Structure 1
């Protein structure tokens, strides 16, 4: 078919989550539970950091921004998937599709940059603690956040403009549960091999280079930690580093598979599985990874509970029963 037959105003069709899978409804309900847990965990962590004065430090300010990104990331894909599943409809307008592509790349790019800057923050805190307050001050933190969002928006604008301008001459069915660039490129009747090289180069800038900076930072951190005389300081530094490294591996690892390898080597089911891990599981796990192994966050959580009237009442009842 010729490209002039392409209609740029036509809607797309989303095939949905694993359309050939039996009992996919069970998976949908599991994802809904994960979505609720992710929204609750990230929102509560964001709120806790802003409420508790002891968490008003650069590290937790950056962590609050990570929670905000994760909250927006999972909300940019899962609600539309749920609406389509329960309504039985599969269509998505071109404008809504472009919006999903834009926000997905904006949030993904911002998270890659932010994770790199968080590693630099930990490097300064562990390797140069006496100058930490000078190097990582409030103004620097704001610049870090601005750089993260600006970098994500600029990269996303380029990706969205190209993706949504691709001619679709045949079936408009996207074999995915949301509008993702590789899935749209596969149904285009235009040769996208040159742009795949561009995507690979962008992947180097947003995935490989940040990963290299993160690894270099942690090599210096671990070298410093090994020479620490205080066991408590060593364990605290390692706990914080472990949380961050876990999040980095969960997020950047699948991104390497998705955007640094040829699109022809991926099946639709493989791409969906990786997308579920990146956009659904990782945003849910991040607040728990940072909370469960962080004494500062747990301490702030306990202080909030003690101030809550319900907690005071249950504490009073338990003491009264003990006296009885």
Structure 2
């Protein structure tokens, strides 16, 4: 018998499965992902169900008008502008922030891109100006919040007041009418692509890009990480401050896109544009399953939330109902969505 290292036969449990044991299956998904998937499915199915109920109500009360092609195009077009804003707001909320300035940024970008000096550069100059103003405002928000550091509520509230004031100063309270034919033509029926308005196409493209960015890129994973636990994200090597800066820049860019879309839709720039957009966008994100505390949310859910609110508005308009009832209905939906979030989370924890 030697006194060197001895070798022992490998444990059967490590080399091969025990007799009669089932064959190994795929690795189990983490519990967190399973919970997220369940909650996402609940909200998506619920919102689709709400849209179906609203469609039934519309078909029953105004069958000739609600189900007409013109009205469906109108619903999608009206949802497009606030929908683009909501995509940006969804990223900010998932990242643990809030943006109360989106409506004011839309107003500022819309009036800046419709000044006489800007319109002299044609549609390209107007688009560039709207995007630049939106991005610039978003960067200011991001710098104040990430490197200030300021509380997102306070920083974006200050931007709301400043942007509205600057928009009023530029317009002097007047409506700036668009005189560029190429821009006005985008709002006409001749610009429709297979019956789809150009603004709806822009909304669809922004939605797809937002979905890919959130679900298929490192940027999206970092956004979820800092929203769920910023300190853990920092310890994991994520540049939390830079990520927050980029989130607010993205929100501002979406506001710039929405501003130009609103100019196309209305044919003018006004300091009152984007009124209450911040509340509508946040509400749509919430009923779509985005947590106000951050760390969870979906682009599809937010888009469905926008469609729910827009359809409700359309139904009340078609039936000549009081706008107060519309606001009550929207508030009830928000409360129901939040209660559903809490109940679903409690059931799966």
TM over 0.5: no
Q: Which has the larger radius of gyration?
A: 2
Structure ranking higher on relative contact order (CA contacts 8 Å, 6+ apart): 2
The interval holding the TM-score normalised by the smaller chain is 0.3 to 0.5
